[in-house]
């Protein structure tokens, strides 16, 4: 059974509730709802999130409620906007043979292949949109291994994947194994433990300011709420095999660099990317590492 966070437990902390409520209102207003309607929807979502018996009931009830409210007919950004943004972050570091670990829908790899990159994909789950002419896809094995030999790829990337992995240590270890010596590892993560000193543009964005006002544990709670909300409520499916795993294995920037080092990957850059307002409202950091 795929993992989920304890949403009710997360929402026992008033500052986290305020953060979630305010961020939901912003997200709904971004989708075109007037302030009053956005406030009402946000309050109803919070009510569902704090009063469920089984979490599955909260997911389905909130998804259906948003569908009735016309949420899925709204689109704040053109298709592929998120993927093109992410590509812009990682493109300067891509070279040679590329492996995308946790490729999801494979849209990023499809774009990269069209640009002439040599790219392969892997994931624990084959997304239904992956079909030819996408690049080659091999599933992660039942033991959590990448199905490629040692020293195969010049670049291995995991884009918003590690916090979805049940065993991030094993995922990084496997990435390191299939990388060539001197190869590049790219890890784009939603992180917590972010302070005003290292955040990008701390005062210009109200949503980011709200996040930065939380303690590290509260930031992790906010990430868990929205990671679950986007992957399991908005993208609700009744098919268990298609439910995305949400174990919420979030890192601070320092903890992730430490994990990389323990796997003989040398952190070269830790790039604060800002709050991702377009998709899931979480703070993103890109870690660039070299295999020694």
Ligand X SMILES: C[S@@+](CC[C@H](N)C(=O)[O-])C[C@H]1O[C@@H](n2cnc3c(N)ncnc32)[C@H](O)[C@@H]1O
Q: Which stretch binds ligand X (CB under 6 A): 3-11, 97-105, 113-121, 210-218?
A: 97-105
Q: Which two tokens stand for residue 64?
A: 């259906």
Residue of 164, 186, 190 lying closest to 176 (CA atoms): 186
Which residue from 153, 86, 96, 93 is spatially nearest to 122, judged by alpha carbons?
153
- Complex with ligand X: residue 157 or 194, whichever CB lies closer: 157
State yes or no: residue 140 binds ligand X (CB under 6 A). yes
Query: x-or-dash pattern for ligand X, window 148-187, by CB under 6 A?
Result: -----------xxx--xx-----x----------------
101, 199, 214, 248: which one binds ligand X (CB under 6 A): 101
C-beta nearest to ligand X: residue: 104
Do residues 266 and 258 touch, judged by C-beta distance below 8 A? no
Instruction: Assess contact for 134 and 106: CB atoms under 8 A.
Output: yes
Q: Hunting for tokens 């292949």 — which residue is that?
A: 113
Q: Which residues of 254-273 are buried (b: 16+ CB within 10 A; e: fewer)?
A: eebbebbeebebebeebeeb
Tokens of 122: 């892997």
Selected range binding ligand X among 17-25, 71-79, 121-129, 262-270, rule: CB under 6 A: 121-129
Q: Is 124 in the site for ligand X (CB under 6 A)?
A: yes
Q: Is 89 in the site for ligand X (CB under 6 A)?
A: no
Q: How far apart are CA 283 and CA 271, in angstroms?
A: 11
Of 38-46, 55-63, 95-103, 270-278, the segment contacting ligand X by CB under 6 A is 95-103
The footprint of ligand X (CB under 6 A) covers: 86, 101-104, 108, 123-125, 140, 159-161, 164-165, 171, 244-245
């Amino acid at each position: 059974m795929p993992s989920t966070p304890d949403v009710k437990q997360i929402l026992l902390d008033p500052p986290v509730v305020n953060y979630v409520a305010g961020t939901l209102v912003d997200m709904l207003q971004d989708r075109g709802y007037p302030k009053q309607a956005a406030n009402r929807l946000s309050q109803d979502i919070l009510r569902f999130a704090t009063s469920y018996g089984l979490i599955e009931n909260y997911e389905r009830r909130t998804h259906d409620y948003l569908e009735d409210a016309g949420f899925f007919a709204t689109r704040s950004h053109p298709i592929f906007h998120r993927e093109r943004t992410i590509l812009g972050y990682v493109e300067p570091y891509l070279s040679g043979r590329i492996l995308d670990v946790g490729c999801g829908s494979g849209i990023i790899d499809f774009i990269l292949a069209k640009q002439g990159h040599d790219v392969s994909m892997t994931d624990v789950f084959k997304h239904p949109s992956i079909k030819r002419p996408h690049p080659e896809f091999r599933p992660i094995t039942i033991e959590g291994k990448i199905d490629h030999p040692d020293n195969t790829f010049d670049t291995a990337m995991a884009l918003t994947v590690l916090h979805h992995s049940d065993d991030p240590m094993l995922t990084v270890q496997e990435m390191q194994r299939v990388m060539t010596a001197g190869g590049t590892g790219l890890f784009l993560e939603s992180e917590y433990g972010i302070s005003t000193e290292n955040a990008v543009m701390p005062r210009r964005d109200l949503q980011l300011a709200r996040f930065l006002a939380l303690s590290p544990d509260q930031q992790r709670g906010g990430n868990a709420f929205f990671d679950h909300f986007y992957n399991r409520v908005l993208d609700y499916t009744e098919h268990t095999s298609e439910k995305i795993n949400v174990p919420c294995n979030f890192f601070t920037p320092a903890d992730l660099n430490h994990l990389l080092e323990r796997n003989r990957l040398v952190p070269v850059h830790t790039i604060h990317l800002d709050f991702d307002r377009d998709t899931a409202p979480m703070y993103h950091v890109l870690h660039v590492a070299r295999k020694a």
